[in-house]
Amino acid sequence: MGRNVPSVEITDQRNVACIRGPHGEVGSTVRQQLRTEVVVYAGLCALVEEMYVEIAKEFHGEQPTDSEGTRCCENWKCPAVHRKDPMPYRTIIEPFRIHTVQAIDLPTVEEREAALERAGFNLFGLRADEVIIDLLTDSGTGAMSSEQWAGMMRGDESYAGSRSFFRFESAVKDLTGFSEVIPTHQGRAAEKILFTVMVSEGDVVPNNTHFDTTRANVEYQGAEALDLVAASEPSEILPFKGNMDIEALRAAIDRVGVDRVPLVMMTVTNNSGGGQPVSMENLRDVRAVCDEYGIPLFLDACRFAENSWFIKLREEGYADRTPKEIAREMFSLADGCTVSAKKDGLVNIGGFLAMNDHETSLQSRNLLILTEGFPTYGGLAGYDLEALAQGLEEVLDEDYLRYRIRSTEYLADKITDAGVPIVQPAGGHAVYIDAKAMLPHIPSHEYPAQALAIELYRNGGVRGVEIGTVMFGRPGADGAPDEPAAMELVRLAIPRRTYTQSHIDYVAEVVIDVAAGASEMSGYRIVEQAPWLRHFTARFEQVASSKT
Ligand SMILES: Cc1ncc(COP(=O)(O)O)c(C=O)c1O
């Protein structure tokens, strides 16, 4: 490392221990990457100086130019998103007090082993009270606020035209700007209605990455669900890994013909692609292609608020915009959306379909009456609509979003620092452990991610979910090994406002401990499986042979 180092000053602002150099501040993400936190707090300036040179080289090229260092560079990895508030401490606290608690059972190792045997080593088969920390999903598993519960008491249960519906409708219109708002009991019901109305056999629906229910609902119409997310490696750190490959989109429309593409979808954040965000620029580019061909654009907007926060942190020009302004801009680029409100609606059940096209909304409402209920309640109670309207406001609170994204990143940092391979950078709602990288001795057809998920439960009672060959692989014909999935991941999804930092510290400890014994782990074989969606009910047994 060269000795011709620029001078650096170490400051400690709230949220970000800043290393200050000639280019301004190097923010938290860079710091985590280079594990400088310890260094910063130990005050080892010389080492920091050397690191700064490396950082400067990596992000600014060899020759730094801005000698004033008054402003952060444009690079998303050192965003100048520091709070100007009177709290000068770096710990990001949970921005809520606990009001009601639910006991967590603490099953013993023997009890967990027995539960695994009973469930056929399928974590979906466990009872919730056999789990210590449940990171199976972030969907509908969050805690509601006292204001939401108060709203539930105000629920108007009139069959038609209830007050609660109008409060919900006005919250959705205020957020999305869409003129037609249709409540549904959850996200997949909105998908089913939209695709029944808009998609025909032989059509093709492009998306960055379809979530599994979205894919299933497109395929149920006899259409093709086409994933066109821009290519990247799991370990590659990029700001917007959920972006659509624009050229691939254009090429796909040209290839199949515009008449066969009834709509384009964009999933924000991209759940099946690691919970990665989509940039506003990419949304604008997708919109431009849709305009060029005259195709409507819909958002699968379950995690719109988390995506907005990532745009604020990482995209040039958005640092001073509120999450609500950013969310509104995202929705303004689309013609409609499907939403599972069990995520950023902060409710345990609920969803909606919204759009501008009146004719499509009429057809959708007719179908809604057939399958979900009258258009002023969908599949929901009046009190659910109240909780949802309130949730849509609370989720855009900056203190909440800062805590939410940081708490996921916190888990990612802890386990990355200990050498555990994950999809980088951390997603908004989940951390995805790369089981293929951790367990290279277990072949895909012996389900390394399933083996890892089982071990996390066995060792620490932590329940994650396999997202690999069990979920997405295809069973081989006549006993041949399965066709593997592209990635072997264990997703640890963080329920909203539910676990505290010590719960997450515990999870990190379990993951690190299990990773230390990785070479001892062996794979599994499936002994029973359903013809579709086998991951929910398959039964497994351990394979002795892949043990080293
Ligand atoms: C991106 C995405 N779309 C759609 C859905 C389906 O929503 P629901 O489970 O409410 O039917 C989910 C659920 O996890 C999701 O993550």
- Residue 532 in 3-state DSSP? coil
**Domain CATH for 505:** 3.90.1150.10
What is the total count of domains within the chain?
Answer: 4
pLDDT of residue 475: 84
pLDDT of residue 54: 59
Residue matched to tokens 């999933």 = 267
**Domain CATH for 321:** 3.40.640.10
- Cβ–ligand 1 distance for 122 under 6 Å, the answer no
Residue 525 — φ and ψ, nearest 5°?
-120, 155
- Cβ–ligand 1 distance for 408 under 6 Å, the answer no
Q: Select from 278, 307, 343, 471 the residue to mutate for testing ligand 1; criterion: most ligand atoms less than 8 Å from CB.
A: 343
Is 426 inside any structural domain? yes
Is 547 inside any structural domain? no
Q: Are residues 192 and 284 in the same domain?
A: yes
CA 38 – CA 42 distance, rounded (Å):
6
pLDDT of residue 423: 95
Q: Are residues 194 and 251 in the same domain?
A: yes
- Cβ–ligand 1 distance for 340 under 6 Å, the answer yes
- Side-chain half-sphere CA neighbours of 531 within 13 A: 0
- Cβ–ligand 1 distance for 279 under 6 Å, the answer no
Residue matched to tokens 């639910």 = 102
Residue matched to tokens 């919970």 = 275
pLDDT of residue 479: 79
CA 410 – CA 40 distance, rounded (Å):
17
Burial of 477 (0-12, 13-18, 19+ CB in 10 A): exposed
Task: Tell me which residue of 266, 368, 336, 263 sits closest to 307, measured CA to CA.
Answer: 266
- Cβ–ligand 1 distance for 186 under 6 Å, the answer yes
Q: Are residues 391 and 406 in the same domain?
A: no
Other CB atoms within 10 A of residue 70 CB = 8
Q: To which H or E segment does residue 132 belong?
A: none
Atom of ligand 1 nearest to the CA of 351: 10
Q: Are residues 125 and 220 in the same domain?
A: no
**Six token digits for residue 367:** 């179908």
Q: Are residues 192 and 336 in the same domain?
A: yes
Q: Are residues 191 and 336 in the same domain?
A: yes
Q: Are residues 202 and 331 in the same domain?
A: yes
Distance between the two ends of the chain, CA-based, in angstroms? 40
Beta carbons of 530 and 545 less than 8 angstroms apart: no
Is 174 inside any structural domain? yes
Residues 209-251: tens digit of each pLDDT = 999 899 999 999 999 999 999 999 988 999 999 999 999 999 9
**Six token digits for residue 320:** 């001073």
Is 87 inside any structural domain? yes
CA 420 – CA 174 distance, rounded (Å):
42
Q: Are residues 129 and 258 in the same domain?
A: no
Is 350 inside any structural domain? no
- Cβ–ligand 1 distance for 214 under 6 Å, the answer yes
454 Cβ contact list (under 8 Å, min separation 6)? 116, 121, 123, 524, 540
pLDDT of residue 223: 98
Beta carbons of 358 and 161 less than 8 angstroms apart: no
- Cβ–ligand 1 distance for 145 under 6 Å, the answer no
Q: Select from 340, 533, 535 the residue to mutate for testing ligand 1; criterion: most ligand atoms less than 8 Å from CB.
A: 340
Q: Are residues 285 and 388 in the same domain?
A: no
- Side-chain half-sphere CA neighbours of 192 within 13 A: 15
In total, the chain counts a number of residues equal to 548
pLDDT of residue 75: 47
Q: Are residues 446 and 384 in the same domain?
A: no
What are the Cα distances from residue 300, in Å, to 267, 380, 537? 5, 20, 27
Closest residue by Cα to atom 15, ligand 1, is 211
Is 96 inside any structural domain? no
pLDDT of residue 545: 58
Q: pLDDT by residue for the chain (548 residues), tens digit each?
A: 333 334 444 444 433 334 444 444 444 444 444 334 333 433 444 454 455 555 545 554 443 433 333 333 344 444 333 344 555 688 889 999 999 999 999 999 999 999 999 999 999 999 999 999 999 999 999 999 999 999 999 999 999 999 999 999 999 999 999 999 999 999 999 999 999 999 999 999 999 999 989 999 999 999 999 999 999 998 899 999 999 999 999 999 999 999 999 999 999 999 988 899 999 999 999 999 999 999 999 999 999 999 999 999 999 999 999 999 999 999 999 999 999 999 999 999 999 999 999 999 999 999 999 999 999 999 999 999 999 999 999 999 999 999 999 999 999 999 999 999 999 999 999 999 999 999 999 999 999 999 999 999 999 999 999 999 999 888 888 778 899 998 999 999 999 999 999 999 999 999 999 999 999 999 999 999 988 789 999 999 999 855 44
133 Cβ contact list (under 8 Å, min separation 6)? 104, 460, 461, 462, 463, 499, 503, 506, 507
CA-based diameter of the chain, in Å? Answer: 75
Closest residue by Cα to atom 5, ligand 1, is 187
Q: What would the 3-class secondary structure string for 273-303 be?
A: HCCECCCHHHHHHHHHHHHHHCCCEEEECCC
pLDDT of residue 251: 98
Is 520 inside any structural domain? yes
Range of the domain at 152: 145-182+357-396
Amino acid letter, residue 100: T
Q: Are residues 449 and 520 in the same domain?
A: yes
- Residue 467 in 3-state DSSP? strand
Q: Are residues 485 and 529 in the same domain?
A: yes
The CA R_g of the chain, rounded to the nearest whole Å, is: 24
pLDDT of residue 544: 82
Is 98 inside any structural domain? no
